Structure 1
Amino acid sequence: MSSSDTSPRPSKRARHSLDQGSSPLHASSSPFSLTNLKHHPEFWFDDGNIVLVAQHTGFRIYRGLLAAQSTVFADMFASATSAANEVLEGCPVVHLTDPEDDLVYLLRILLPTSPTCYRTPDPEIIHSFDEIFGVVRLAHKYHIQPIEDQELRSLQEYWLTSDFDVFFGPSKSHIDMEPVHYIGAVNLARLTDTPLMLPLALYQCCYLGSELLDGWIREDDTVEYLSPEDVRRCFDARIALTCQESFLVSRLFDVIHPQRCKARGRCAPIVAALSYTSMREQPSPVVHALWEWSPTLVGLQGLCEGCVQVLHERDKEQRRRIWDALPRILGITVEGWGKPSEGAGNAA
């Protein structure tokens, strides 16, 4: 959702950080009549024994099933039962400050009503990033650690991996990610203290342009912004990444040793011409510092097999060098970055 520099900011409800979005768990400050309550079609069970209210929508569910998975919910329900300030059809009513859509996403995992609600490796089932974001936020808020860990792992399987070979391998992700979603990914990494997600998330944010300031508009019209510190990181790193792009190209099309050329050095003028052209062309907005040159190299005319192989090796070597340096370029410290690992590091 691109916007020009001259277009006004969208008039949306802003959420500058996830911590600020976590308001008190109980009744909202504005008066609300239960007679106007809309029953959620998927989560209104006639034999449910508690009613959750989010954005004027009611969820009549089973108290015990949620309380067994969240100590926060258990405490809330115990308080609601003892106080019994509001009752609907014999059920205690608990008001939440969470977006309705996020609550639906979480309940579909905790109280699945169909097989598609289960997290499976089925490539046919694609989940939106908005869904993953909402589930992680609420799972963290309500202390449902297994769900939080599960959703974070799904992000780290590909889009936010710390493994170089996984990132440049075939995508097996079941999450639909757009560039602007990485704003939310940075905020999730900060919220959940998952620093291994930060290098790629911040790297992608560096290339958002004005969208970095516009923020990510969620399905419920709230807007996620990076913190001022992370915005500054992205602006500073963008300059460094541009230098890395130029250095990569200069190394990629550097002189090839005659012993590697199977055409007895006849490829040298072609490589020199490629270097001249690539260094003088207008920078492409789609060419990032980690952009993979190998697919382009396959179609080069006039180069022998040996020289093409050298270019492939250089391409991977230079991308790996930039990959390993991402935390330093972004001004953060991440333990374990660049190594195949499921553990979390520490970031500053």
Structure 2
Amino acid sequence: MPLRHTISGRGAVSNDAGRYEAYAHEAVDDGWEDPEPLPPLRTSVRDEVAKSLITYNKSPDLPFDRSINPYRGCEHGCVYCFARPTHAYLGLSAGLDFETRLIARPNAPDVLARELSSARYKVAPIALGTNTDPYQPIEKTRSITRACLDVLRDFNHPVAIVTKGALIERDIDILAPMAALGLVRVGISLTTLDDSLSRRMEPRAPAPRRRLLMIRKLTEAGIPVRVMTSPIIPGLTDHELEALLEAGRDAGADAASWIMLRLPREVSQLWQEWLSEHEPGRAEKVMARLREMHGGRDYDPRWGHRMRGEGVYAEMVAKRFKSAMARLGLATTTPKLRCDLFARPARAGDQLSLFQ
């Protein structure tokens, strides 16, 4: 029989080889003697020298065309994370590897400054934290995200941040002055108000009440916050939609958004394993609803479809969201971040303007 690591405090329950790997490895009890349990999986971090940082996209259903990520992999361990399949490009698993074998990019601030300084660069809001959380636990000691914010502040560059990490409160001293200039907006992901469900589904992310406190602290500092009820999980968290929006509004959020659960590539298998382990009584209903929205498939990646699905259930969620937003006075669209303040800061050795 297969042997398992002790996976307390982790989201995934397996660690299959990446999809590009020729071989898979599995620890198996050969029956000769009582096996010793495999050790707990510890988080490891290795550094990567980034050659470039800003990633551009042309996705018509995304509100930004560029993003930066100081880290690869995410210790928060959210089992549903759509970014898990990206670990396969590193020869690693989308499962437990994604949340235990992390990559830090310590030269990210220098690379970012170089790219923003290019004469060819055209300013537009940068999204921070689109693939992995910029305020996951290792940021506390590495401070790469904070250093990137220093660069963006120096350039007066607009930035939209998405996070679950309470460590963002550390950087209010940078974010508040930027917000006063119309240069920053934050999105806080709130998936459930159920502490037990959150702890099992997103084991190393702050508890729901802590995320609501984050919203309050940020908004009290003048930093605009959107509460992101994402992902909505049919048959598991969908009944909480109105309560999530109200809690976010009461904490100070002025806007909100939602995305249906997405299961690209390996995430589908990981999610179904999690359901079998943690919510076996609801597994069939959850997957049936998801497949109804994707033409019988676990996931349909088409632009304009992948975020919401289609059909009666998807339409019902959209109507509930719209109705709650109107009742609570929350916005779906917000003022655009300012791009007109962007300026490349003077560097040592630069020739000053004759007219300064």
Give your verdict on TM over 0.5. no
TM-score normalised to structure 2 length: 0.27
Name the TM-score, length of structure 1 as normaliser: 0.27
**Greater Cα radius of gyration, structure 1 or 2:** 1
